[in-house]
Amino acid sequence: MDIYVEHIEQLLLFLIFMLGASAGSFYNVCIYRIPKKESIVTPGSSCPFCKKKIPFYLNIPVLSYFILQGKCKYCKHPFSLRYPIVEALTGVILVALYLKFGYSITTIFWFVFISILIIISFIDIDYQIIPDIFSLPGIIIFATAPLFVPDISVIDSILGILLGGGSLYFISITYYIIKKTEGMGGGDIKLLAMIGAAIGWKGVIVTVFIGSLTGTIAGIIIMISSRIIDIKLKIPFGPYLSIGAVIYIFFGQALIKWYLTNTII
């Protein structure tokens, strides 16, 4: 009986993963088309090189990429590895949310929120822009977090917006006054305001810390690997803010508790 239940649970997790991966397949469309101002509805999935339509049986999330050996069936042009990465990442995120929050409205809320972060992050990586179409409505939409997340209050959300957007705006203005050039994009400011709306002011603090840490490490690695030592090298900050926000969603309370326990005042 226990083995039967275990198999059912494994099947359930697989189905949840595939559901998330299917959503990730759509996010790939958004990542590719939105910056080009193309419709995300029509035409259907097609090869970006030969433009031939991809049949549904060759459009299975994650699996199709490896079945086709990462190439278009028709023109044999290689596809970016990013496609299965985004699909697998989204599937793993949904499974992780289910394991942490179970069948709940909280799981749905966080999945929608993290989905937006995934789309924003990969667009930022490609184009170094964060479309207002996501961040500005997102501030309002995710300010509803107190309705779906028990740990977030209305005050938390409001302060998160003010601290998130306000802190980066202050840094941006200060940098401009000192250097006479823009150091922080407006997209990052609006993104952190959106993040603050969803996870509150404590989450903003953790997000900025983790985002700055991971961004700095990544920047150093990029400069060393590319042999370009330039402190003015432009590195998209959106993905690192997103990483910080996701880490807070899963481990934020534990991190804060650990910090308070191990900090000597």
Task: Note down the domain range covering 252.
Answer: 105-265
Our CA angle for 131, 136, 142, nearest 5°, is: 120
Shared domain for 92 and 190, answered yes or no, is no
- Local structure of residue 99 (DSSP, 8 states): H
Shared domain for 70 and 115, answered yes or no, is no
The residue out of 69, 103, 137 marking a domain boundary is 103
Shared domain for 128 and 239, answered yes or no, is yes
Global pTM reads: 0.90
Shared domain for 94 and 72, answered yes or no, is yes
Q: Which tokens in the block code for residue 144?
A: 């509803």
Shared domain for 39 and 133, answered yes or no, is no
pLDDT in tens, 125-164: 999 999 999 999 999 999 999 999 998 999 999 999 999 9
Q: Are 80 and 49 in contact, with CB atoms under 8 Å apart?
A: no
Q: Are 78 and 71 in contact, with CB atoms under 8 Å apart?
A: yes
- The per-residue pLDDT of the chain, averaged, comes to 88
Shared domain for 148 and 174, answered yes or no, is yes
Nearest to 61 by CA among 28, 30, 33, 35: 28
pLDDT in tens, 81-112: 999 999 999 999 999 999 999 999 999 999 99
Positions in the chain whose pLDDT score sits under 70: 1-2, 175-176, 179-185, 226-234, 263-265
Distance (Å, whole) CA 143 – CA 147: 9
Domain count for the chain: 2
Distance (Å, whole) CA 51 – CA 77: 11
